[in-house]
């Protein structure tokens, strides 16, 4: 008789310090409150989220494992042991949706190989919310993650993205380390054609949310204070 396995819940978290009821469905919160085992990207932020969700038990009574970019690939499979033993587990990323530009994808891949049920829950995605509000093509788009660090490589990448926008009307989406946001926007504005549209989506779902789409030549005149903030960048037409 095949052993009954647990379920892995992919639990979206907040994108910023917003009231949880404004962003996360009640259904998710009920699931979170009934779980005792969590795989998290960062322990401190995970506990902060659980506190906002009204987690009913002391954190000492819950089991936390960390999965991030520093986790050795040889140790990832061990995180599934509770699931193999019939216990359900919640996967939390640092912000937004698990497994989207997030190390949790490797864990889910193993779950499918081992026929462990995976349930994705609804929640905020900064990438899709930015795309929705940008005014750009939502039928053809690509997410690049981070752009190259070296200026020469970065210019080549931006020019390639701009070509995709002009030829295929394909929206280009990317991010940057928060402390380099302003520098990247300046670089974009100076590298892109003057009429190329650039959308800067900052602090999505928070009271400081700002989503603005302007031509590159307008951004060149004034770069906003976006350093140390979560920002999604898009270029399109």
Same-domain check for residues 115 and 130: no
The CATH number given to whatever domain includes residue 41 is 3.40.1010.10
The CATH number given to whatever domain includes residue 218 is 3.30.950.10
**What pLDDT score was predicted for residue 67?**
95
pLDDT at 101 > cutoff 90: no
Within a domain: residue 166?
yes
Within a domain: residue 66?
yes
**Cα–Cα dist 197/195, whole Å:** 6
**Cα–Cα dist 194/132, whole Å:** 23
Domain that holds residue 72: 7-120
- Where does a domain end: 120, 141, 171? 120
pLDDT at 127 > cutoff 90: yes
| Residue 77 φ/ψ, nearest 5 degrees | -60, -35
**Considering its fold, how many domains does the chain have in total?**
2
**What pLDDT score was predicted for residue 102?**
86
For residue 17, name the pLDDT band (cuts at 50, 70, 90): confident
Same-domain check for residues 92 and 156: no
Q: Residue holding tokens 């996360």?
A: 24
**What pLDDT score was predicted for residue 95?**
86
Could you give the 3-state DSSP secondary structure of residue 16?
Answer: coil
The mean pLDDT of the chain is: 95
pLDDT digits (tens, 9 = 90+) for 39-77: 999 999 999 999 999 999 999 999 999 999 899 989 999
**What pLDDT score was predicted for residue 1?**
62
Q: Where are the beta strands (DSSP E) in 121-176?
A: 141-146, 171-175
**What pLDDT score was predicted for residue 228?**
95
Could you give the 3-state DSSP secondary structure of residue 6?
Answer: coil
Q: Give the C-alpha distances (Å, rounded to integers) separating 67 from 98, 197, 201, 226.
A: 11, 37, 27, 28
pLDDT digits (tens, 9 = 90+) for 135-157: 999 999 999 999 999 999 999 99
**What pLDDT score was predicted for residue 92?**
95
- Percent of the chain past pLDDT 70, that is, above it, reads 100
For residue 2, name the pLDDT band (cuts at 50, 70, 90): confident
Within a domain: residue 2?
no
């Amino acid at each position: 008789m095949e052993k009954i396995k647990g379920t892995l819940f992919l639990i979206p978290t907040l994108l910023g310090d917003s009231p949880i009821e404004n962003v996360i469905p009640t259904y998710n919160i009920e699931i979170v409150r009934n779980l005792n085992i969590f795989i998290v990207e960062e322990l401190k932020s995970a506990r902060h989220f659980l506190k906002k969700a009204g987690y009913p038990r002391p954190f000492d009574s819950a089991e936390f494992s960390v999965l991030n970019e520093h986790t050795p690939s040889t140790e990832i499979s061990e995180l599934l042991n509770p699931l193999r033993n019939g216990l359900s587990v919640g996967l939390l990323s640092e912000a937004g949706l698990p497994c989207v530009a997030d190390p949790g994808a490797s864990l889910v891949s193993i779950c499918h190989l081992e026929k462990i049920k995976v349930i994705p829950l609804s929640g905020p995605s900064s990438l899709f919310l930015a795309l929705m509000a940008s005014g750009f093509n939502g039928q053809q788009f690509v997410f690049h993650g981070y752009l190259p660090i070296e200026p020469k490589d970065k210019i080549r990448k931006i020019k390639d993205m701009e070509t995709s926008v002009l030829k295929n009307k394909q929206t280009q989406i990317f991010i940057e380390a928060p402390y380099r946001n302003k520098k990247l926007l300046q670089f974009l504005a100076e590298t892109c054609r003057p009429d190329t549209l650039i959308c800067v989506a900052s602090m999505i779902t928070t009271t400081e949310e700002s989503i603005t789409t302007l031509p590159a030549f307008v951004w060149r005149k004034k770069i906003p204070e976006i350093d140390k903030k979560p920002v999604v960048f898009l270029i399109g037409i």
